[in-house]
Chain A
Amino acid sequence: MQKTEINFFDEMQLDVVNSNEFNVREIYLAYQKWLKEIPRDLLDSKRQEAELLFRRVGITFNVYGEQDGVERLIPFDIVPRILAPNEWSHLSRGAIQRVRALNMFLHDIYHKQDIIQAGIVPATVLAHTQYRPEMFGVDVPQQIYAHIAGIDLVRTSESQFYVLEDNLRTPSGVSYMLEDRKMMMRLFPELFRRYSIAPVDHYPQVLLKNLRSVAQTGVNDPIVVVLSPGAHNSAYFEHAFLAQQMGVELVEGTDLFVRNNSVYMRTTQGPQRVDVIYRRIDDDYLDPLVFKADSMLGVPGLLSVYRNGGVTLANAVGTGVADDKSTYIYVPAMIKFYLGEEPILENVPTYELSKTEDLAYTLAHLDELVVKEVQGSGGYGMLVGPAASKQELEEFRLRVVSKPSNYIAQPTLALSTCPTLVEAGIAPRHVDLRPFVLSGKTVTLVPGALCRVAMKEGSLVVNSSQGGGTKDTWVLQDQLEETPTEIPDISCLVETRVEEAAVC
């Protein structure tokens, strides 16, 4: 693996090489001071304790294609990522703006298609495999499609954040945001006294409130369920966790059935109607009558009820057309088109390999670029040029040339690093950030995020399927704001966030 010569922005130290207490970023000062007081073996024992606790709670994930790895722990790092109040306010406003525009785009693309008429997004988007003609003309409650969106952000300097991608289908990872926080509070209560950290635990309540707000009109007391592929799915823990935290049923496809334009679940007391399904199953597996006929995970007839307004699906069917890497490049234009605003968060410059000049440039600079499959996710099917061997580069070149429109390329970003506890001690590792934006009657996000960290030195791939770990993300509250001593009132919190959204 060859070393890149880029200087990385570090979340804690202004100068990682010549580290001393004078170049620690202000928000990390108290942490660094604490870290110096703590003996190394105590840190190690805390890390072991965390691992033991995670294992006992069963916070595990399944890795596809691994025989023995039926249930594995995702590595948890005990050094937090800290964000200043102004940084968070910038990111959250940007993420809300983005999701609002993306929801408007989804409504538009399945209705009048103004944005195509206006020549801003090409009509080829309609030929996209993730575009679902079944959704054309279907009205969904509140015109919300992506009720839960995970926006992947990376940082390259003090002031520069980029959106790496939008996850609008069934984004996962929020349970780690919540469990990592719980773990940190348990392991290091003294740090929570030193810092004023915005709480995140109310996420499931906000989610439930949002899901209930998108029930079809006329439903008084909507019944919400979480639909999971089952205990063997890689994110099963999260499905179970969210259902439990919201106090709703965790169902599988076989627990549901369709009758008289409604969806019911089989209960010990007979059938019970279901109004909102927070589904964690991909479109393709939702309904064997419409999509994959051999899917055992879905509910036959579900789509027909959905199209007739008998049930709400969150996220809606067909959101994949908006989070695809080939659509991604148009998001800044969407923001201008639908909201008349300047994008708060920037996109990463992207080469579309379906364009001749972009393809030529990419092939000439393959060893400098990151090349991704348009429909890939989870860090599969991607090339990190600077880290790839000659042979890998050549193999990828052939794949790109054989079907260029399948790929996009981006400059290799100098992802910021964050101090991380590894074998050798505390060392910088690359991180990203995924806040979760919730859309219903209101658009909101709790002050926190999933922070993924590439545990391997120099690696830029943070996906858990590729050995990435997670960190707790601390959003600091303004000095003026005292840490609330009571349980935060969620309704008012949602209201303030809406105002915030309205301002931006």
Chain B
Amino acid sequence: MLSRTADHLYWMARYIERAENMARVLDVTYNMSLVPNAAESEAALWLPALEISGNLEAYERDHEDYTAAKIIHYLALDINNPSSIYRALRSARENAHAVRVAMTTETWENINALWLEFGQFIGQDLAKNGLREFCDWVKARSHLFRGVCFGTMLRDDAFSFVRLGTFIERADNTARLLDVKYHLLLPEQEEVGGAVDYYEWSAVLRSVSAFQAYQKIYSDTIEPWRVAELLVLRRDMPRSLHACFDEITPILDQLSGSRSTECRRMAGELHSKLRFGKMHDIFQHGLHEFLDDFVKSNNKLGAEVHKTFFSIAT
């Protein structure tokens, strides 16, 4: 398929996934804000939402304080914030528009309808009213997007690039989320287990739809190391790093065909760490270091995918 088409499809999927993850972060943070004494201050509660998306510095350039209202607007609807949900969905739609031929009519109409519906939220004060509905809507549209791709697209390279975009983006988001939360919760490696921690961790789990899974697998109190295990190493947990690479590696094998591409090797290497790694060892070396490394490697993988498939030298 055309390199440009592949590029657009890949980014369309990444942007949809990005919007969904941002909505998840906003949703759980908002829930936390309803728990009494969940955080020392409004700022302390909402700052992580900026950190997870890597937006803190950009936010600080334009804003003086950290109120819920400002942060919610910044992350959800701000036209000038390149990582806002508004911008992510707009970019997804632009990418789709540029290659509407490469997807099924239903997929295109789904994304076009998403963008048309989004109009209802523009100009709303979500912090005051309707944030939950907004987040639910974004998540539902993202589910719908994956569903329509899965249910209607031919299983060819176009489909593979859509899936690749989804999982590379998702792996990045899960790793960042866990890193920020872990970092914050264990500032001095102290014992945890209080009530607030319980809510914090359950919020983390909920943000990746893993709360029920946790209960089912461990049927025990929420322990940070188990949360980490669930989100890093459990392959049956659909938003875990391992699960993402269970998708990414075979896609890259298939797209590379008989070629032994560098991105294929990189994915394999990362995949092995997740398949054969032990949580104990990861903690020994430091979870933060592990996650930081992972995010960097995953980014490099993205760049390599770009080099291999999207910018063909003549």
Contact = CB atoms under 8 A, between A and B. Distances in A.
Are A and B bound to each other? yes
Interface of A: 55-58, 230-231, 240, 243-244, 249-252, 254-255, 257, 259, 264-271
Nearest to B255: A268
Contact of A255 (B2, B97, B105, B157): B2
Given A58-B97, A58-B100, A267 B1 contact: yes
B2 A251 contact: yes
A55 to B, nearest CB: 7
Interface stretch (B79-87, B109-117, B132-140): B109-117
A259 B314 contact: yes
B101 A255 contact: no
A472 to B, nearest CB: 20
B314 A266 contact: yes
Given A55-B116, A267-B312, 9 more contacts: A56-B109, A57-B105, A231-B97, A249-B1, A250-B101, A266-B3, A266-B4, A268-B157, A269-B1
A183 B40 CA distance: 59
Contact of A269 (B100, B101, B257, B310): B257
A269 B256 CA distance: 8
A52 to B, nearest CB: 9
Nearest to A228: B101
Given A230-B98, A244-B101, A254-B4, A270 B312 contact: yes
B252 to A, nearest CB: 12
A243 B3 contact: no
Contacts of A249: 1-2, 5, 101
Interface of B: 1-6, 94, 97-102, 105, 108-109, 112-113, 116, 157, 161, 255, 257, 309-310, 312, 314
A56 B106 CA distance: 10
B312 A56 contact: no
The DSSP consensus for interface residues of chain A is mixed
Given A231-B97, A231-B98, A268-B255, A257 B2 contact: no
A318 to B, nearest CB: 28
A250 B102 CA distance: 8
Contacts of B112: 56-58
9 contacts: A231-B94, A244-B101, A244-B105, A250-B99, A252-B4, A255-B2, A268-B2, A268-B161, A271-B314
Which 4 residue pairs of A and B lie closest in terms of their CB atoms, listed nearest first? A244-B101, A266-B312, A268-B309, A250-B101
Given A231-B97, A266-B314, A58 B109 contact: yes
A250 B5 CA distance: 9
Contacts of A271: 312, 314
Nearest to B103: A244
Contacts of B257: 269
B109 A57 contact: yes
Contacts, number: 64
A268 to B, nearest CB: 4
A230 B98 CA distance: 7
Nearest to A71: B97
A257 B4 CA distance: 13
A267 B308 CA distance: 11
Nearest to B310: A268
Contacts of B5: 249
A272 to B, nearest CB: 9
A280 to B, nearest CB: 13
A267 B113 contact: no
Contacts of B314: 257, 259, 264, 266, 271
A271 B313 CA distance: 9
A327 B273 CA distance: 72
Nearest to B157: A268
A244 B100 contact: yes
Contacts of B99: 250
Contacts of B105: 57, 244
A264 to B, nearest CB: 8
A249 B116 CA distance: 27
Contacts of B255: 268
B60 to A, nearest CB: 33
Contact of A56 (B4, B97, B116, B161): B116
B109 A268 contact: no
B37 to A, nearest CB: 47
Nearest to A265: B2
Nearest to A241: B101
A56 B113 contact: yes
A56 B93 CA distance: 12
B135 to A, nearest CB: 24
A195 B170 CA distance: 54
Nearest to B8: A231
| Most chain B CB inside 10 Å of its own CB: which residue of A58, A264, A271 | A58
A138 B2 CA distance: 30
A244 B108 CA distance: 12
Nearest to B308: A268
Contacts of A55: 116
Contacts of A266: 2-4, 312, 314
B2 A243 contact: no
Contacts of B3: 255, 266-268
A227 to B, nearest CB: 12
A251 B94 CA distance: 16
| Most chain A CB inside 10 Å of its own CB: which residue of B101, B108, B113 | B101
Contacts of A267: 1-3, 312
Contacts of A252: 4
A432 B97 CA distance: 31
Contacts of A244: 100-101, 105
A269 B259 CA distance: 10
B108 A58 contact: yes
A249 B1 CA distance: 8
Contacts of B98: 230-231
B250 to A, nearest CB: 16
| Most chain B CB inside 10 Å of its own CB: which residue of A56, A249, A268 | A268
